[in-house]
Homo-oligomer: A and B are copies of this chain.
Amino acid sequence: MDQRLALLLLLAFMVLASKLAASLSNRVGQPAVFGELLVGLILGPTVLDVMGWPMFSGEELKVVVKDLAEIGVVLLMFLAGLETELAQMRRVGLAAFNGAAGGVALPFGVGMLASRLFGLSWRESVFVGTVLTATSVSISAQTLMELGQLRSKEGTTILGAAVIDDVMGIIVLSLVVAFSRPGQAGLGSIGGLVLGMAAFFGLATWLGWSWLERLTEAVERHVRASEAVLAFAIVVLLAYAFAAEAFGRVAAITGSYLAGLLYAQTRFREMLLERLRVIGYGFFVPIFFVSIGLDANARTLGASWVFTVVVILVAVATKLVGAAAGAWLSRFTLMESLRVGVGMVSRGEVALIVASIGLSSGVIGREVFSIMVLMTLVTTLVTPLLLRGLFPRADAGPEAPGAASVGKGGPPHRRDG
């Protein structure tokens, strides 16, 4: 079949499968990402291997799907930046910060050491640790809402910690990408690297703070073209993504995430959120999630099932213990700390994005990549179950005023020593 025609059919197929899977997943109480990932795995070499079918087996097709997913990733991280509420981050207080720090440090350290023990190279091990750091809070937020606990003490702590966790995860990723480039041995080159990173972040943030809003306002006022502001924001996010990797030596997604954070501080936030969601959720994001599954192959994991199980256990346990310890140190009770820890277990988009960067840059192999995909699936699956087990179900129903104050109840909930 003509490659161009095959592309149209394949894209239709991917978007359709992704949305149906997301819906089914939501109906059985699982987050959309779980279904989207699972359907990708089913379409991929693990089960159906659609890219191996004669009509879809062209080389050009693989390249285009990969690049569309790539554009999707950059958009998704811009969207994540736009959605981050820096103001909220300042408010959350010490418990959330400590929870996030514990929930980043422990998975990173233990994940790295476990991988090293199973014979992975240092570079690969560091990358596995990095993938394990990123929490996806949407899954916990959904479950907490349904339990009427979103505004409880633990609920707000989880949400706050997840925001900080995202930023910390991005920092870890930036450092890992920067230092894992080939030829970074001598002290001089490390100095140059740090200088490049500092220059990029300094310049990009300064430009963003002092010029982005004014420049976008100028575009709004003076550029007479349809969707000029949106197009300009897309130019900025693409340029930041490019500059982050080309000049700052960090990952491209760090750049687009930073562009999103900066736009989140402007009055264009709402209109960009609305439009980027349309572009993202309507087309690019479904393609990204399905393409993750197409790249993974769970079938080949039989031989290394021990390592797979260990990584998944480490992912669940270290996030739970690390985040809970952070909360406990901030004078939460043991039960409250446990709830915070469980709420941080789920991984999602960011973990998958980091893993796919590792795969495409050749730092991790397809086998480790597939383990990361399975890890995301499992953590996503167990988080709502664990949360439901640990929280009392509020009788007043989701987000009723009574339910919202449950966790704020007086002294009995506090840990006093």
Give A contacts to B, CB under 8 Å.
Answer: 1-2, 4-5, 7-9, 11-12, 15-16, 18-20, 22-23, 26-27, 32, 60, 63-64, 67, 70-71, 74, 222-228, 230-232, 234-235, 238-239, 241-242, 245-246, 252, 275, 277-279, 281-283, 286, 360
Q: Which residues of B contact A4 (CB under 8 A)?
A: 67, 70, 252, 360
Given contacts A9-B246, A60-B63, 12 further A-B contacts (CB under 8 A): A5-B245, A8-B242, A12-B242, A16-B232, A19-B223, A22-B224, A23-B222, A64-B64, A234-B283, A275-B278, A275-B282, A279-B279
Residue of A15, A19, A279 ringed by the most chain B CB atoms within 10 A: A19
Copies in the complex: 2
Q: Which residues of B contact A225 (CB under 8 A)?
A: 19, 22-23, 26, 32, 281
Q: Among B7, B227, B252, which residue has its beta carbon within 8 angstroms of that of A282?
A: B227
Is B282 a contact partner of A246 (Cβ separation < 8 A)?
A: no
Given the interface pairs A67-B64, A224-B27, A275-B278, the reply to whether A232 lies near B19 with Cβ below 8 Å is yes
- Of all chain B residues, which has the CB nearest A228? B19
Residue of A4, A8, A32, A74 ringed by the most chain B CB atoms within 10 A: A8
Chain B: minimal CB distance from A263 (Å): 14
- Of all chain B residues, which has the CB nearest A67? B64
Q: Among B22, B27, B70, B228, which residue has its beta carbon within 8 angstroms of that of A7?
A: B70
Given the interface pairs A64-B63, A242-B8, the reply to whether A231 lies near B70 with Cβ below 8 Å is no
21 contacts between A and B (CB under 8 A): A1-B246, A4-B67, A5-B245, A7-B67, A9-B238, A9-B239, A9-B242, A11-B71, A12-B238, A12-B239, A16-B231, A19-B225, A19-B232, A20-B223, A22-B224, A22-B226, A26-B225, A225-B281, A230-B282, A275-B278, A278-B279
Chain B: minimal CB distance from A65 (Å): 10
Q: How far is the CA of A227 from the CA of B285 in the complex (A)?
A: 11
The 3 residue pairs across chains A and B that have the minimum distance between CB atoms: A12-B238, A22-B225, A226-B281
Is A278 a contact partner of B241 (Cβ separation < 8 A)?
A: no
Q: Which residues of B contact A224 (CB under 8 A)?
A: 22-23, 26-27
Q: Which residues of B contact A227 (CB under 8 A)?
A: 277-278, 281-282
Chain B: minimal CB distance from A268 (Å): 13
Is A16 a contact partner of B235 (Cβ separation < 8 A)?
A: yes
Q: How far is the CA of A27 from the CA of B9 in the complex (A)?
A: 40
Given the interface pairs A7-B67, A238-B11, the reply to whether A226 lies near B283 with Cβ below 8 Å is no
Q: How far is the CA of A27 from the CA of B228 in the complex (A)?
A: 14
Given the interface pairs A23-B223, A279-B283, the reply to whether A234 lies near B15 with Cβ below 8 Å is yes
Residue of A26, A224, A232 ringed by the most chain B CB atoms within 10 A: A224
Is B252 a contact partner of A8 (Cβ separation < 8 A)?
A: yes
- Of all chain B residues, which has the CB nearest A7? B67
Is B235 a contact partner of A8 (Cβ separation < 8 A)?
A: no
- Of all chain B residues, which has the CB nearest A60? B63
- Of all chain B residues, which has the CB nearest A279? B279
Chain B: minimal CB distance from A19 (Å): 5
Chain B: minimal CB distance from A236 (Å): 8
Chain B: minimal CB distance from A347 (Å): 20
Q: Which residues of B contact A242 (CB under 8 A)?
A: 5, 8-9, 12
Chain B: minimal CB distance from A405 (Å): 29
Is B278 a contact partner of A74 (Cβ separation < 8 A)?
A: no
Q: How far is the CA of A222 from the CA of B20 in the complex (A)?
A: 10
